[in-house]
């Protein structure tokens, strides 16, 4: 029995020794950078929570950077700064595909994987896109508004035209409303991702006596800005918002926003980091190296889906947001 115990002890020691000698999967200075479109809005703070959780589980460093307001040129500069630091991978929500395309291609040429998140640059050499099927999301917004208006009325759109994901949502709205000839889009407001611009623009329309029966917002900040304008002028118009920033949830509780089509930024960032890490380590062995592969070893589009949020389920969404790690 004694010799057996010594033998078992020796085996354990050998296993520990071999484990200690193994090369760690992640290097000590391995880091990943997420370039958001506006780090100050709750949408990207929710995404940062997903990034933080994934990095903690994987044992890597990950940071979020980007402009403090919607500024495509500033985002390009943030991407170039990230690239200069030679990260293991870059994730980016692309504000202007034509502006960011060359920078993305440069990163790929240097062997740094780029994963686009939320908003794509489909003509670039990015490896994959993780985000929403935005045409379908826009269609969901239009269907909800059509139900509210019972197929009749004049609608204002709030968006950021020129940003691919917003344009795709607008496409989904327009295609779906063709089925409802009694609903007309009378104006599209460019709020530049700023609720104050949405507030001022909706206020100006109402003061000019414009006939508005519904407002569809295709970006996160427009809903709360429009709701504030309606509240201040004591006007009741249904709003279908987008995403679930705290102000939108508050306005749903106060009946200022009827519903919102919400994306999953936490899920997007969480899986985008995992995909970037797999690329950096060539974890998927369909080809020897993703950099020289004739096709991507990854799915080229991962649809993270949407959900319809209204007064009936707002508490569950609030509870989920409260449980997320807070941004640094």
Residue where a domain terminates, one of 231, 262, 293: 262
Question: Residue 29 pLDDT more than 90?
Answer: no
Confidence of residue 8 (pLDDT cuts 50, 70, 90): very low
pTM above 0.85, yes or no: no
Question: Residue 14 pLDDT more than 90?
Answer: no
- Let me know if residue 217 belongs to a domain: yes
- Let me know if residue 268 belongs to a domain: yes
- Let me know if residue 20 belongs to a domain: no
- Residue range 87-144, pLDDT digits in tens: 999 999 999 999 999 999 999 999 999 999 999 999 999 999 999 999 999 999 999 9
Given this model, what pLDDT does residue 19 score? 44
Given this model, what pLDDT does residue 323 score? 85
Based on the fold, state whether residues 236 and 144 are members of the same structural domain. yes
Question: Residue 20 pLDDT more than 80?
Answer: no
Distance CA 140, CA 59 (A): 38
- Expressed as residue numbers, the domain containing 86 is 31-132+264-305
Mean pLDDT of the chain: 91
Neighbour tally for 319: CB within 10 Å: 9
Given this model, what pLDDT does residue 23 score? 64
- Let me know if residue 216 belongs to a domain: yes
- Let me know if residue 316 belongs to a domain: no
**164: domain CATH number?**
3.40.50.2300
Based on the fold, state whether residues 149 and 249 are members of the same structural domain. yes
Based on the fold, state whether residues 66 and 112 are members of the same structural domain. yes
């Amino acid at each position: 029995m004694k010799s057996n115990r010594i033998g078992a002890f020796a085996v354990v020691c050998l296993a520990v020794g071999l484990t200690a000698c193994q090369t760690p999967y992640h290097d000590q200075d391995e880091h990943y950078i997420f370039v958001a479109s506006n780090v100050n809005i709750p949408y990207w703070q929710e995404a940062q929570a997903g990034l933080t959780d994934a990095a903690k589980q994987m044992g890597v460093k990950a940071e979020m950077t980007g402009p403090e307001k919607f500024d495509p040129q500033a985002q390009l500069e943030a991407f170039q700064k990230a690239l200069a630091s030679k990260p293991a991978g870059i994730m980016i929500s692309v504000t202007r595909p034509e502006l960011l395309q060359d920078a993305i291609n440069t990163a790929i040429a240097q062997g740094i994987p780029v994963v686009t998140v939320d908003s794509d640059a489909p003509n670039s050499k990015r490896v994959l896109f993780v985000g929403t099927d935005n045409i379908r999301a826009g269609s969901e917004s239009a269907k909800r508004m059509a139900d509210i208006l019972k197929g009749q009325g004049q609608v204002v759109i709030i968006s950021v035209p020129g940003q691919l994901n917003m344009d795709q949502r607008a496409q989904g709205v327009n295609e779906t409303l063709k089925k409802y000839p009694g609903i007309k889009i009378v104006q599209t407001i460019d709020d530049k991702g700023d609720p104050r611009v949405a507030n001022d623009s909706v206020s100006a329309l109402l003061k000019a006596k414009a006939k508005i029966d519904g407002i569809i917002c295709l970006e996160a900040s427009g809903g709360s800005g429009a709701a504030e304008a309606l509240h201040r002028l004591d006007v009741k118009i249904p709003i279908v918002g987008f995403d679930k920033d705290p102000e939108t949830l508050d306005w749903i509780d106060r009946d200022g926003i009827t519903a919102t089509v919400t994306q999953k930024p936490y899920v997007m960032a969480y899986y985008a980091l995992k995909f970037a890490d797999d690329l950096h380590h060539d974890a998927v062995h369909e080809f020897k190296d993703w950099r020289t592969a004739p096709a991507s070893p990854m799915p080229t589009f991962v649809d993270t889906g949407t959900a319809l949020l209204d007064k009936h389920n707002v508490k569950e969404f609030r509870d989920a947001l409260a449980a997320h790690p807070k941004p640094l």
